[in-house]
A and B are shown apart, each in its own frame.
Chain A
Amino acid sequence: MRRQVPLLLTAIVGFVYIIQFFVPHKPFNIIEHLFTDWILIIAACAIWLGVLNLLKLSSEKVYKRAKDWPYALVIICGFFMITVAGFFFSGGRAFQESGTAFDYIYVNIFTPLSATMFALLAFFVASASYRAFRARTFEATLLLLAGFFVMLGRVPVGDLMTSWLPQGYRLSDLAGWIMMVPNMAGQRAIMIGIALGIMSTSLRVILGIERTITGGE
């Protein structure tokens, strides 16, 4: 029950999705639609699971007065603030409409917090460029030069610096060439490599060779 059922489920669902690609007609399209809805419901429950787990851990921290427990309380309060607003003060299904309590929290609390959290990376990218971006080897030099030219070539100042060169030979043209030729070649190789990897892993999962999801080796 613990091992066989998950393997069987994986195989059945996997084959249904493969077959419906080639035969998008009854009954496979109907089964696929149904399975898709089921997966979405499972995915929603998985997200709820994560959220409930977070609440459980935070509550335990507050209850035990563990280190930094006031911040765990902030997590709980933040959660209830938006959930109560979303469920009870935002008009039900139209909860995301402009002007609802949910939208207010989204615009004035969620947006600045999430946007600034990611914006901080700008500082760390600059710091990392200074400390770790070294032309130690030929490969590292290639990486550095490509980054260097793309960075300058993709902003107007790059063209300003090379305005004395004829059109077609300026930094923006060089950056464009890097993106459209060597970068595209490299990305293509990566893309094909990943595709082959995903295909082989998918096949292993569907055929039950890959068993880590069932808790096996």
Chain B
Amino acid sequence: MKFFEKLMSIDRRVIFLFVGVALIVPLFLDIEQTIEITPEVQTLYDAFMELPPGSKVLMAFDYDPPSAPELQPQAITGLRLCFDRNLKVIIIGLWPMGPMQANLALETVFSEENYFDKEPIYGVDYVNLGYSPGNELVIQRMGSSIPATFPRDFRGTSIEEIPLMRGIVNFSNFDYVFNLSAGYPGTVEWVQFAVDRFHARMGAANTAVQAPLVYPYIGTGQLTGLSGGMKGAAEFEKLTGFIGKGTKFMLSQSFAHMIVVFFIIIGNLAYFVTRGREEKKTG
């Protein structure tokens, strides 16, 4: 019984140590895992695959470095898929760090062997329009005029000088919107304005924290596909065939979840044993 009492008052640093070990060790292991595909991610992938070559995809990078481990693999996979299928990519960000994360994702994609001889051309195959402040107001304004909302790209070049942007006026010129979101402003605002008001077709990649909150939008069809967290990233990678960090980190993720479940079980066990003892004492 003393054992359980000690267990109840265990130093939190011991728990921290367990978590650390559970996450570090799997990075050195090479165990193959079967990743099941959820219908939400399958729908997202199908939405990309249905687009004919040359279609224009708006990618909104609404996240910052803290959320990058979850969203960067999805961004990289999304970009690879677009470039491989010859889809044109227009990048924007409602978060100031978003377009910088997009540049990092592009660097990763272009550092791969596949792209050495056929690297997509900036301004023709893809463009980064940068960040525009104003949260949902930016989406609202994009509905009436994208050139007015983003008069210059990330590099300061006037939008009129960018071939890819010729003829793009509002959401009706995009075939699909892919939002990578870590909070506000993000998927909720894109659904409210781009989808509901301007009838854009949209899918999203969200951090796992946010994903449950946007599930109702899948049920209503407001979202065409959703990929949540690192697991979503791994599924997206499996479907596209581009194996990246989402898949690589799944083993650590599994161990992490197991350790938390283990702690919940032990914590409850200790709680019930010690509570029973106290009840006996008080009679």
Contact = CB atoms under 8 A, between A and B. Distances in A.
**Touching chains A and B, CB distance < 8 Å:** yes
B242 to A, nearest CB: 18
- Dominant SS among interface residues on chain B: helix
Interface in A96-129: 96-98, 103, 106-107, 110-111, 114-115, 117-119, 122-123, 125-127, 129
Contact of B260 (A96, A129, A170, A180): A129
Interface in A42-97: 43-44, 92-94, 96-97
B130 to A, nearest CB: 7
Given A118-B66, A122-B256, A127 B16 contact: yes
A151 B19 contact: no
A156 B259 contact: no
B173 interface: no
A134 B154 CA distance: 50
A183 B141 contact: no
A159 B107 contact: no
Contacts of B219: 180, 184, 188
Interface residues of B, number: 63
A135 interface: yes
A193 interface: no
B241 to A, nearest CB: 18
B53 interface: no
B236 to A, nearest CB: 14
Interface stretch (B28-36, B43-51, B79-87, B160-168): B28-36
Given A33-B141, A97-B155, A126-B19, A156 B34 contact: yes
B212 A96 contact: no
A129 B216 contact: no
Interface in B9-36: 10, 12, 15-16, 18-20, 23, 33-36
A43 B135 CA distance: 11
A94 B155 CA distance: 5
Contacts of B103: 96, 98
Contact of A134 (B19, B140, B141, B268): B268
A117 B100 contact: no
Interface residues of A, number: 57
Interface string B233-263: 0000000000000000010011111111101
B133 A117 contact: no
Contacts of B20: 123
B19 A123 contact: yes
A130 interface: yes
A115 B68 contact: yes
A111 B216 CA distance: 32
A187 B212 contact: yes
Interface string A17-28: 000010010000
A154 B104 CA distance: 28
B244 to A, nearest CB: 16
Given A40-B133, A94-B154, A183-B212, 14 more contacts: A24-B144, A96-B103, A115-B66, A115-B68, A123-B20, A127-B12, A129-B264, A130-B15, A134-B268, A147-B264, A151-B260, A152-B257, A156-B33, A187-B213
22 contacts: A36-B134, A44-B133, A92-B156, A114-B65, A115-B65, A119-B66, A126-B19, A126-B259, A129-B264, A130-B267, A133-B268, A144-B264, A144-B268, A152-B257, A155-B231, A159-B34, A172-B36, A172-B38, A183-B215, A184-B218, A184-B219, A187-B216
Interface of B: 10, 12, 15-16, 18-20, 23, 33-36, 38-39, 64-69, 97, 99-100, 103-104, 107, 130, 133-134, 137, 140-141, 144, 148, 152, 154-156, 197, 212-213, 215-216, 218-219, 229, 231, 250, 253-261, 263-264, 266-268, 271
6 tightest A-B contacts by CB? A118-B66, A156-B33, A157-B254, A130-B263, A111-B65, A93-B156
